[in-house]
Amino acid sequence: MNPVYTAMGTTIFEAMSARARETGAINLGQGFADGRGPEPVLQAAANAILEKSNQYPPMPGLTELRQAVADHYARHQGLNLAAEEVIITSGATEALAAAILALVEPGDEVICFQPLYDAYVPLIERAGGVAKLVRLEPPHWRIDPAMLEAAVTSRTRHLILCNPLNPTATMSSAGELAAIADFCVAHNLTAICDEVWEHVTFDGARHLPLIGFPGMRERTVKIGSAGKIFALTGWKVGWMCAAPPIARVLAKAHQFLTFTTPPNLQWAVAEGLATQDAWVQEARHRFQAGRDRLKAGLEAAGLVTLPSAATYFMSIDLAASGIAMDDVSFCNRLIEEAGVVTIPVSAFYARDAVTNVVRFAFCKQDAVLDAAIGKIADWRRGLNG
């Protein structure tokens, strides 16, 4: 058996959701929203099952969806992608796997930033690559050019950037992105950009895609997710966008991972991208209100929160809150004693983990957030007593 897999545990998101299912605890762990998503998109999927083909769609995706993704990014991010530069995948996780398998050769070094999504390092290692981990520090988690220069070697070929960044809920500034772009150009690196949170941004902040920076158009794979745009995480429809010479190779990795993605969901996502901008905007406000509600509740319970500019997530700092526990112990006790599931941020580290930060999802109905806050506040009072 391959040691990459035998040595690893079940992903923290599944492990924590399984504990929520087993115990009945409120699940503020894995990031999935309450609510049904946009009705016209659900209806389009149902109609497509009954009225359109349920046979294999074209391997790189329905032309209509590839064009809808290109149009969406032209409208929202000023990008000039052609339909042929978009490859539809079964979720962003498949896109990450396909991009890493397609681009990373044995021995290649790939710069990644910790904390990082837990799939990156195993996928790089399975491809025979080496993850060069650059550590970001709370509370700002900023990337500075000196860190990049310290990580690069003659074997560095790629960089993976998650922006907005899960779990820190930060967004890279234009200055940071310009520095990353200059660095990629100077060292001839390709960038794999996990931008699944691009639409879940708050306080009027706008996402800037790295592929739009000078020199990046021909060396970037931009990954997006319909599950995040429409809060339909179970659909597993995502995509990779890249210039034709890269896109052609990405498609070959995709063809032997999943080959295609269910056609009814592709039709529905195309419909959603063309018609649901207002829903996406409204959802952004709803999630921002959830963030504010959770922040107020956790702070009233005596917990110190970290800023959240984007994503479904906000974190607390245990040490700053006067809680002398590591994140894993805190999360375990919160499940067992308070009945609330959260995510220990140490799970986002391949090594040298930060152990005093815990992530909460706020993409939930008010009543669910209030119930969780009430349980946490009671438990916290008990800790002091």
Name the residues that contact ligand GLN, by CB under 6 A: 13, 30-31, 93, 166
Q: Which is nearer to ligand GLN, 13 or 248 (CB)?
A: 13
List beta partners, residue 77.
Answer: none
Minimal distance in Å, beta carbon 115 to ligand GLN? 11
Task: Quote the least distance from Cβ 284 to ligand GLN, whole Å.
Answer: 17
State which residue, 30 or 264, has the beta carbon closest to ligand GLN. Answer: 30
Contact 345, 315 (CB under 8 A): yes
Contact call for residues 68 and 269 (beta carbons, < 8 A): yes
- In the complex, the smallest distance separating the C-beta of residue 175 from ligand GLN, rounded to whole angstroms, is 26
Asked whether the beta carbons of 166 and 117 are under 8 A apart, the reply is yes
Question: By the 8 A CB rule, do 305 and 316 touch?
Answer: yes
* CA–CA separation, 242 and 341 (whole Å): 37
| Least Å from the CB of residue 29 to ligand GLN | 7
When the beta carbons of 13 and 379 are compared against ligand GLN, the nearer one is: 13
Q: Which is closer to ligand GLN, CB of 116 or CB of 251?
A: 116
Question: Nearest approach, Cβ of 68 to ligand GLN (angstroms)?
Answer: 23
Q: Least distance from C-beta 17 to ligand GLN, angstroms?
A: 8
Lookup: tokens for 276: 């649901």
CB of 281 vs ligand GLN, minimal distance in Å = 22
Q: Virtual CA dihedral for 195, 199, 203, 208, nearest 10 degrees?
A: 50
**Which two tokens mark 233?**
């995480």
Instruction: Compute the least distance from the CB of residue 13 to ligand GLN, in Å.
Output: 3
Q: Which two structure tokens, joined as six digits, stand for 370?
A: 């209030």
State which residue, 30 or 260, has the beta carbon closest to ligand GLN: 30
Residue 361 near residue 28, CB atoms below 8 Å: yes
Q: Which is nearer to ligand GLN, 31 or 344 (CB)?
A: 31
Q: Which is nearer to ligand GLN, 216 or 343 (CB)?
A: 343
Q: Using the minimum distance from each CB to ligand GLN, give the nearer residue, 14 or 144.
A: 14
